[in-house]
Chain A
Amino acid sequence: MNPMKSLSPARLLAALVLFSLPMLAFGQDEPTLSSGDTAWMIAATALVLMMTIPGVALFYGGLVRAKNVLSVLMQCFAITALVTIIWVVYGYSLAFTDGGSLNAVIGSLDKAFLAGVTIDSLSGSIPETVFMTFQMTFAVITPALIVGAFAERMKFSAMLVFMGLWVTLVYVPIAHWVWGGGWISELGAMDFAGGTVVHINAGVAALMAALVLGKRKGYPTVAMPPHNLGYTVVGASLLWVGWFGFNAGSELAADGVAGMALAVTQIATAAAALTWMFAEWMRHGKPSVLGTATGAVAGLVAITPASGSAGPMGAIVIGFAGALLAFFASTMMKPKLGYDDSLDVWGVHGIAGIVGAILTGVFASTSLGGAGYASEAITMGHQVWVQVLSVLTTLIYGGVVSLILLYLVKLTMGVRVSEEQETEGLDIALHEERGYIL
């Protein structure tokens, strides 16, 4: 079995049930390929890639001004390609192999350049090629999420360098700690599909990026309304659909846990979309399209860590709480504190991610309709404490290393475009293209 499988209690349970089936009894020694699992995981991998291109790209692309639309699409697209190569060269190996004496901290380079990953390699019941590519799509979307924080002002070259370093020194180690058998998984933290690894991680890096780069020229006095909310709604919808691959795919099998992950993902997202819609309606007098779509994304984020352990009613509460806190963070806390996290990466992914991670410890309880903890000895209080620890670890490690990397890039090559380029728009200034020739 691959190390990921041994982490979540839900998976443990599923594995136990699976192995107790008589038809599989003779197959216990050698892992065998399941064509059903494989078919689902290939589909799930494609769904998660779709979340970045075009999901996140359109979600963010619609929110910037018309003169920067291509720059955002380009950043998402280039990150997809860059991280793919990094993942193949060393990322996958460092995240998902046994690091021996260093395993608590990092994996080994045994599978660098995908050495030994062949047509016949299995990871659990699916080909390792599929497992590797599925995990790659997670490594791709995480840095792409950060783009929203520095939109409309970061140098493309600096963005590429930062993202390469960030994936290497932040994403890969944290993925190893949580999913690759590292020390956070040893603590017993529950993170089914990446609440800490993907969303809190991207959120805190985004906050650091917003602080290091500084505000956009004119923010917040100059009006910077989204130039095409239609793109944003389409992007949010693609995220919603793609997220079934993200959450239900994280089971790495086509089974009952995947089915429940699918259901709670839909339920939490719906609750969250309604929550933001009504919160805005009450506070500002009108229900907005952008608010409802943003609420849905907050719900998707919040349910992510809990998608393998929460029940349907837990999902409603998680979606509600995630969206409500993200709403306050994005629409009230940000303007008060004055930082320019331009597209609310911290407010949505960071905050809803933290809410989801902590509530995962609550709603895994069988008394609240969840799938239960890793063992009967674990209390809700203990699990919540472990969840808090994993959140703090991600915030501190991710925050500090992101800050260092951003300053490194800032002091060596500079992170911002010139004022003139910023005013002209990044599409023309950096890419010599326009999004709209009307």
Chain B
Amino acid sequence: MKLISAIIKPFKLDDVREALADIGVSGITVIEVKGFGRQKGHTELYRGAEYVVDFLPKIKVEIAVDDPLVDQVIEAITSAAQTGKIGDGKIFVSDLEQVIRIRTGETGPDAL
């Protein structure tokens, strides 16, 4: 099992959610986050006073999936969230040791 965390542009969230639903992902977690990568921040100007805003608003999507689905999920997110411009985001993939469904106590892939 893998935990896939994707940082995407906020306006791409709906596209990503639909693309994931199409390949059979049954649940995602969405978090509003701030940060910067190569895009850096932006500047704001108030009556001539310029401020650099380092952190841009982004959306972090977290998906736990069984191993066979990983490549499909990555592909779905990449194609749905891509604009080709700087700031499209990143996808992090990490091993997931255990999953437990709280309602039934199921564990492992059955709980996904």
Contacts and interface: CB of A to CB of B under 8 A. Distances in A.
A84 interface: no
Contacts of A344: 47
Contact of A290 (B46, B51, B53): B46
A226 interface: yes
A225 interface: yes
Contacts of A294: 47
A382 interface: no
A154 B53 CA distance: 28
Contact of A220 (B47, B49, B52): B49
B64 to A, nearest CB: 31
Interface in A312-341: 330-332, 334-335
B44 interface: yes
A353 B86 CA distance: 47
Contacts of A332: 48
Contact of B45 (A224, A284, A330): A284
A294 B48 CA distance: 12
A253 B48 CA distance: 41
A349 to B, nearest CB: 14
Contact of B51 (A225, A288, A335): A225
Nearest to A219: B49
Contacts of A290: 46-47
Nearest to B50: A284
Nearest to A328: B48
B47 A331 contact: yes
A297 B98 CA distance: 62
A217 interface: no
Q: Find the residue from B44, B46, B47, B53 having the highest chain A CB count within 10 A.
A: B47
Nearest to B45: A284
B47 A225 contact: no
B10 to A, nearest CB: 20
Interface of A: 220, 223-226, 284, 286, 288, 290-291, 294, 330-332, 334-335, 344
Top-8 shortest CB links A-B: A331-B48, A223-B51, A330-B47, A331-B47, A225-B51, A284-B45, A290-B46, A225-B46
Given A225-B46, A330-B48, 11 more contacts: A224-B49, A225-B44, A225-B51, A284-B45, A284-B48, A288-B45, A290-B46, A330-B47, A331-B49, A332-B48, A334-B48
